[in-house]
Structure 1
């Protein structure tokens, strides 16, 4: 079977294990059903996820012009503390920013290669943790806007990492951490204006199970720009990575906007 389309991050469905779907304009692949099978990936070109033009992808699936003009790529996306919609101040498009920023956000602790702190919209629980390849996660505070989540993350980043070691995550080198205990220890580190939200946020530990037949011992990343054709046996999916038998891993999200042909 042959499939062709523009890569976007895999859609997921919580379960044991998590279900993964690679979705194109007129077709989709359930990646769980392809475990143990050979796949061939061919790079065919580019299509910007914002303007739809066949322009080289710069970042986040956007061409250069769209990355610096679209409200979906504002600095506050990666740095929530820069959010200003709660003040009625626009970055690029106030209506869009109000829609995204002025909704409940979760600051969380997650365990994978180590423990990290992060921010996500409440509607993205547990999708955000799945995309990062976290094995366990727990909400720390639920706040009403992105700005409050951002200043909480900044306060905690001096004590905890905000990154996951993706290589350790992909070989399943998981840190043994009591997230409930660590959650309770963070209370004293929270900004004063966020403290009331700690008491109202449920203490719920999430456990995430990924569809992996076999974890690699060593890994190497597939770069479609330098290796436009690759074939291998799919052994697992974790985070937004496809894991192949020869240790090759492919980060689907890093190649959003790339047009590919996949042969199964």
Structure 2
């Protein structure tokens, strides 16, 4: 069977294990059903996720022009403390930025390789944690806008990392951590304007289980521009990565905007 289309990050469904879907314009594929099967991925071109033109992808699925003009990839995306919509100040498009920034955001602790701090829109729970390959997560605060979440993350980065070691994340199943104990250390570290939003009594810990048959001892990343045709047996899916039997891993999200043909 053959599937063809433009890659975008895999859609996920929380479950035991997490369910993954590749969604194309005219079809979709439950990737979990491909475990232990040989699949072939062929890279055939580019298509910008923003303008739809067949232009070389620059970053995050966008061509160069769209990356530097679209409000969907402003600096405040990666650095939420730069958000200004709560002040009525535009970065690129105030209407768009207001819709995204002026909604409930959650600051959390998650474990993928070690305890890390992060920010996500409330509507993206638990999707954000799944995309990072986290095995556990707990919400710390829920604030009304992205700016407050951003300054909270900045304060907590003095005590926790905000990065995930993707190689390590893909090489093992993760170690459990008492996130409730970690959360108990947080309140005194919060900025003054955020303390009222702290979840003092809410201690729900999410646990994510991934469809991985075998974890590789060593991983090698597949770059479709350098290797436009690849074939291998799928043995796992974690984060936004496909894991193959020979230790090759493919970052689907890192290849957004690539046009591919997948043969099963």
TM-score, with normalisation over the residues of structure 2? 0.98
Equivalent residue, structure 1, for 2:181: 181
> Does 2:211 match 1:211?
yes
Report the equivalent of 1:234.
234
Query: Given the superposition, is the C-alpha separation of residues 201 and 163 from structure 1 closer, same or farther in structure 2, using an over 3 Å criterion?
Result: farther
Distance change (3 Å), C-alpha of 1:200 and 1:105? farther
- The number of aligned residues is 264
**Per the alignment, in what secondary structure is the counterpart of residue 196 of structure 2?**
helix
Q: Match of 1:95?
A: 95
Give the Cα separation in 2 of the matches to 1:212 and 1:148: 36
Q: Give the Cα–Cα distance (whole angstroms) in 2 for the partners of residues 181 and 211 of structure 1.
A: 28
1:75 aligns with 75
Q: Which structure 2 residue ranges, 5 or more long, are not aligned?
A: none
CA contact (8 A) 1:71 1:91 kept: yes
Structure 1 unaligned blocks of 5 or more = none
- Aligned-residue Cα RMSD (Å) equals 0.9
Q: Deviations over 1:124-148 (max 9, x none)?
A: 0000000000000000100000000
Supply the distance in 1 between the matched residues of 2:247 and 2:232 (Cα, whole angstroms): 10
Does 2:145 correspond to 1:145?
yes
Q: What is the aligned partner in structure 1 of residue 119 from structure 2?
A: 119
Contact 1:236–1:242 (8 Å) recurs in 2: yes
Q: Which of 214-223 and 127-136 deviates more?
A: 214-223
Partner of 1:25: 25
**What TM-score comes out, normalization by structure 1 length?**
0.98
| 8 A Cα contact 2:140 2:199, kept in partner | no
Deviations 1:195-251 (CA, angstroms, capped at 9, x unpaired): 010046722100000011111111100000100000000001000000000000000
Q: Confirm or deny: 8 A CA contact 1:115 1:175 kept in the other structure.
A: no
Aligned-residue offset at 1:104: 0.3
Q: Post-superposition shift, 1:153?
A: 0.3
Partner of 1:58: 58
Supply the distance in 1 between the matched residues of 2:199 and 2:164 (Cα, whole angstroms). Answer: 27
Indicate the residue corresponding to 2:245 in structure 1.
245
SS state at 2:261 partner:
strand
Runs (4+) of structure 1 exceeding 4 A deviation are none
Tell me what 2:108 maps to. 108
What is the alpha-carbon distance in structure 1 between the residues aligned to residue 198 and residue 246 of structure 2? Answer: 45
Distance 1:176 1:113 in 2: 10
User: In the alignment, is residue 223 of structure 1 matched against residue 201 of structure 2?
Assistant: no
